[in-house]
């Protein structure tokens, strides 16, 4: 094989440049075309009046974003659009009785929440129920009071007041 010459391919540099440029333009068109998805109706989503709005949640790719009108209505009512665990994305509206003193969630539009500073402790930078403190408070003769939640949708672990005693609940 040492003595054999390899065949040489002669390529005109202008032809090579044109081919490369065409391939680059095709790739660029495909990439930019993916930035404006087409809806089921065949129109570009950016051309519709109810195009979804972006949310700041890292889970927003898992849940549909609200239509502009839906988000505006939520915000006008004092709500916040958010993602809450298994509940999913939605408008979280304020309650009409938020902050009212209560002894049971039945007295509230949402939950009767215990005083966070009184029944929670910090562990590894996260607030968790302080079981020892909850047991101590529940054993006292005094009737335990809480405050009605300011939000209709609550998420995570909290301590609520039910029938005048503290109880831990976790809402996914």
Over residues 43-59, the pLDDT tens digits come to 334 333 434 444 455 55
Q: Judge whether 80 lies within some domain.
A: yes
| Residues 81 and 120 both lie in one domain | no
| Residues 65 and 112 both lie in one domain | no
Residue ending a domain, among 57, 92, 127, is 92
Domain extent for 82: 45-92
| Residues 85 and 132 both lie in one domain | no
Residue ending a domain, among 32, 64, 92, is 92
Share of the chain above pLDDT 70, in %: 63
Tell which wins on pLDDT, 141 or 99.
Answer: 99
Which residue from 111, 171, 121, 172 is spatially nearest to 146, judged by alpha carbons? Answer: 111
Q: Judge whether 22 lies within some domain.
A: no
Q: Judge whether 139 lies within some domain.
A: yes
pLDDT at 23: 56
- Structural element, H or E, at residue 32: helix 13-33
Tell which wins on pLDDT, 42 or 93.
Answer: 93
Residues 62-71 have a mean pLDDT of 77
Mark 124-153 as b/e (b = at least 16 C-beta within 10 Å). Answer: eeeeebbeeebeebeeeeeebebbbbbbbb
- Of 9-13, 41-45, 64-68, 141-145, minimum mean pLDDT range: 41-45
| Residues 106 and 165 both lie in one domain | yes
Look at residue 26 and tell me whether its pLDDT is greater than 70: no
Q: Judge whether 50 lies within some domain.
A: yes
Q: Judge whether 141 lies within some domain.
A: yes
| Residues 109 and 166 both lie in one domain | yes
Q: Judge whether 39 lies within some domain.
A: no
Q: What is the DSSP track for 62-94?
A: TSPPPBHHHHHHHHHTT-EEEEEGGGEEEEEPB
| Residues 84 and 128 both lie in one domain | no
Q: Judge whether 126 lies within some domain.
A: yes
Number of domains composing the chain = 2
pTM: 0.58
Distance of alpha carbon 143 from alpha carbon 165, whole angstroms? 8
Q: Judge whether 16 lies within some domain.
A: no
| Residues 160 and 112 both lie in one domain | yes
| Residues 143 and 161 both lie in one domain | yes
């Amino acid at each position: 094989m040492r003595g054999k010459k390899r065949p040489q391919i002669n390529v005109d540099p202008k032809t090579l440049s044109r081919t490369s440029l065409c391939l680059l333009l095709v790739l660029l068109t495909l990439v930019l075309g993916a930035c404006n998805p087409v809806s089921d109706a065949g129109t570009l989503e950016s051309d519709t009046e109810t195009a979804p709005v972006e949310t700041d949640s890292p889970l927003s790719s898992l849940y549909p974003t609200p239509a502009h009108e839906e988000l505006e209505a939520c915000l006008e009512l004092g709500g916040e659009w958010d993602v809450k665990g298994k509940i999913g994305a939605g408008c979280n509206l304020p309650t009409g009785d938020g902050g009212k003193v209560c002894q049971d969630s039945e007295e509230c539009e949402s939950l009767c929440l215990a005083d966070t500073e009184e029944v929670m402790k910090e562990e590894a930078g996260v607030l968790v129920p302080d079981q020892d403190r909850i047991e101590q408070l529940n054993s006292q003769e005094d009737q335990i009071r809480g405050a009605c939640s300011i939000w209709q949708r609550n998420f995570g672990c909290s301590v609520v007041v039910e029938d005048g005693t503290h109880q831990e609940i976790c809402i996914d």
